[in-house]
Amino acid sequence: MQNSLATQVAGIRLRNPTILASGVLGISGSILRRIAEAGAGAVITKSLGLIPRAGYKNPTIVELEVGLLNAMGLPNPGAEEFLNEISIAKKGGAPLIASIFGSSLSEFSKVAEIVAKGGVDAIELNLSCPHVNTTGLILGQDANLVKELVKNVKRKVKIPVIAKLSSNVSSIAEIAKAAEEGGADAITAINTLRAMAIDINVKKPILANGIGGLSGPAIKPVGVRCVYEIYEAVKIPILGAGGVTAGKDAVEYILAGASAVQIGTAVVTRGIEVFKDVNEEVKEYMKENGYKEVSELVGQAHKA
Ligand code: RRO
């Protein structure tokens, strides 16, 4: 029997376990389609809100030795405007997941209803933007609010709901448990880490916003630790995110307990071929180690 990369997460069928992370190239239907055609198992949009948002002033992104630092400030056309892109994005043949945010519980529910009616396959709640204090992060740090928020959204939509959590909390497992109690179908861990870079000549923070979110290889051990802790706390599937650049990184997340992985920064640093490369490397690992299905690998690092 051939080894298979096909897997299922929260009722979403994936032809392979690699997913375009939110925030990277995810606002145009034609680009989402190209990424699906390049081999991603699913694609996630940039976070969408109720109304259009310009985002922060430049510079919004800086490449560091250890990864990328960004503070885009949630630029997006608004959920209604994005609806035109859905049918184009879905031509790529991969499930389309809408990342959404809101400034209140009721706003999250409204945006969820809009994108669900527009025909996306699932919703990822961004409860974890590291530097926009009026939205996700404050909500995502409070277990009771997370439970309430997920419960409200689940009442409004029939498609799977995924809660994207931040590692910038004292217990991510506790927040994941609250999301599960609210009815979340899956957890994404993690978003970027709060961070800063200073230009030593100008003697000022490089990003216009000052604080940003660090992504890329530097945060992979944090992401893996979070997935490991969440796996021990909940029964719903986990999507691992943070620093996946090669097949071995994806395998590490899967062994920690992720059912699939998201790729963001490596799409910027390595191009959209990264999905095909990571999948081939995961397949190679499975062959060498005698695994037929990705699901057999999930959580193996927890076995005594
Ligand atoms: O738009 C952003 O600046 C941003 C968001 Br919403 C997020 O969730 N994570 C991030 O690193 N940047």
Distance CA 166, CA 223 (A): 10
Spell out the SS3 assignment of the chain.
Answer: CCCECCEEECCEEECCCEEECCCCCCCCHHHHHHHHHCCCCEEECCCECCCCECCCCCCCEEEECCEEEECCCCCECCHHHHHHHHHHHHCCCCCEEEEECCCCHHHHHHHHHHHHHCCCCEEEEECCCCCCCCCHHHHHCCHHHHHHHHHHHHHHCCCCEEEEECCCCCCHHHHHHHHHHCCCCEEEECCCEEECCEECCCCEECCCCCCEEEECHHHHHHHHHHHHHHHHHCCCCEEEECCCCCHHHHHHHHHHCCCEEEECHHHHHHCCCHHHHHHHHHHHHHHHHCCCEHHHCCCHHHCC
Structure tokens at 40: 């991603």
Measured in Å, residue 129 CA sits from the centre of ligand 1 at: 5
Structure tokens at 301: 């690092």
Q: Is the CB of 213 under 6 A from ligand 1?
A: yes
pLDDT values of the chain reduced to their tens digit, one per residue, 304 residues: 467 999 999 999 999 999 999 998 878 999 999 999 999 999 999 999 999 999 999 999 999 999 999 999 999 999 999 999 999 999 999 999 999 999 899 999 999 999 999 999 999 999 988 777 545 566 789 999 999 999 999 999 999 999 999 999 999 999 999 999 999 999 999 999 999 999 999 999 999 999 999 999 999 999 999 999 999 999 999 999 999 999 999 999 999 999 999 999 999 999 999 999 999 999 999 999 999 999 999 999 998 7
Q: What pTM did the predictor assign?
A: 0.97
- Give CA separation, 60 vs 56, 74, 152, 219, 258, in Å: 7, 11, 33, 19, 30
Q: Is the CB of 165 under 6 A from ligand 1?
A: no
- Give CA separation, 13 vs 44, 193, 295, in Å: 14, 30, 13
Classified by CATH at the fold level, domain 7-299 comes out as: TIM Barrel (3.20.20)
Task: Please choose from 192, 209, 215, 219 the residue to mutate so as to test ligand 1's pocket, defined by most ligand atoms within 8 A of CB.
Answer: 192
Catalytic: which of 31, 120, 129, 260? 129
**Counting atoms of ligand 1 from 1, which one is nearest the CA of 71?**
3
Q: Are 99 and 127 in contact (CB under 8 A)?
A: no
Instruction: For residue 124, give the nearest of 44, 192, 193, 52 by alpha carbon.
Output: 44
Ligand 1 atom 3: residue of nearest CA:
72
Q: Is the CB of 26 under 6 A from ligand 1?
A: no
Ligand 1 atom 7: residue of nearest CA:
129
Measured in Å, residue 132 CA sits from the centre of ligand 1 at: 8
Structure tokens at 78: 């608004």
Which amino acid makes up residue 195? A
* Per-residue pLDDT, 304: 72
Q: Are 166 and 133 in contact (CB under 8 A)?
A: no
Ligand 1 atom 5: residue of nearest CA:
129
Kindly list the domain boundaries of the chain, sorted by start residue.
7-299
Q: Is the CB of 18 under 6 A from ligand 1?
A: no
- Residue 129 designated active-site: yes
Structure tokens at 73: 């400030």
* Per-residue pLDDT, 139: 79
Q: Are 163 and 187 in contact (CB under 8 A)?
A: yes
* Per-residue pLDDT, 121: 98
